[in-house]
Amino acid sequence: MQMVTYQRLYNILRDKIWNKNYAPGFKLPTERELCSEYGVSRITVRHALMLLEGQGMIERMQGRGTFVKAVKPKKIAIMDYAYSSSMKLELPGTLRKLISHDVIVPPSEIASSLNLLQNEECNYIERLDVNAGENLAFDQVYIPMELSRSLKEDMLIRIDFLTVWEKEESIKFSSVRETVEAIAADDLIARRLNVAYGSPVLMATEVMFDKDERPVGIFISKYRYDRFKMVSTYFRGNQ
């Protein structure tokens, strides 16, 4: 998926701010200087700066220039593992893009988790979640063929996909087995999330079960560690 020029410039400037190459209080080069340094148009520079300003990373001061602010963008809290509702609350403008939708013979561990026969095919889906030009998360989804009648692009790109899919396929979700771990970004993750190879990434693997305890889908999501945190609430019974 090709990034437009202003997104590339935004990523460069953002990383310089996060890595303290541009420390808090640092005065950014002028628009003209940025145009010259990166070989881009003034419109491209202004668009990239608007994204940085919208995320609270820089501040433009009339007659003085543009300065790096001390506050980093806050991390998005995924509350009680409910990604879609958390994103609607924290970043309602997030867009989901469909990267691929294919029918494949899945890896053996996926086939085993879905109770598929040897060489049995399933749907394989990749999606990318983007906000303000920033790639935040992407997932890899495996769904059995018998539960794929309703899988159209307009549904796959919905943030509330699970709710719609459950209704369309008459599935009754009963439980989810989720594993969350920290991993290092491989080549694919680095490309999808625009991070450096080897950067830490949060990975959540969810196996969805229906009311008959049948596995109906596997969702493997990768999140930028610098943009997300997991928050859960537990209630203790009477002692």
- pLDDT for the residue numbered 73: 64
pLDDT score at 1: 38
Q: What is the pTM of this model?
A: 0.70
Homologous superfamily (CATH) of 76-231 is Chorismate lyase-like (3.40.1410.10)
- Would you tell me which CATH number, out of the four given (3.40.190.10, 3.40.50.2300, 2.60.40.290, 1.10.10.10), belongs to the domain 5-68? 1.10.10.10
Q: Using the CB atoms, write b or e for 137-171: b if 16+ within 10 Å.
A: bbbbbbbbeebbeebeeeebeebebbeebeeebeb
Nearest to 94 by CA among 53, 134, 58, 51: 134
Cα–Cα nearest to 141, from 151, 132, 131, 149: 151
* List of the chain residues with pLDDT < 50: 1-2, 239
pLDDT digits (tens, 9 = 90+) for 112-164: 999 999 999 999 999 999 988 889 999 999 999 999 988 999 999 999 999 99
In the chain, ranges of CATH 1.10.10.10 domains: 5-68
Q: Are 132 and 56 in contact (CB under 8 A)?
A: no
Q: What pLDDT, on a 0 to 100 scale, did the predictor assign at position 236?
A: 58
The pLDDT value given to residue 2: 41
pLDDT at 124: 98
**pLDDT value of position 233:** 64
pLDDT given for residue 20 in this prediction:
77
- pLDDT of amino acid 77: 81
Query: According to the model, what pLDDT value does residue 72 have?
Result: 61
CATH 3.40.1410.10 intervals, the chain: 76-231
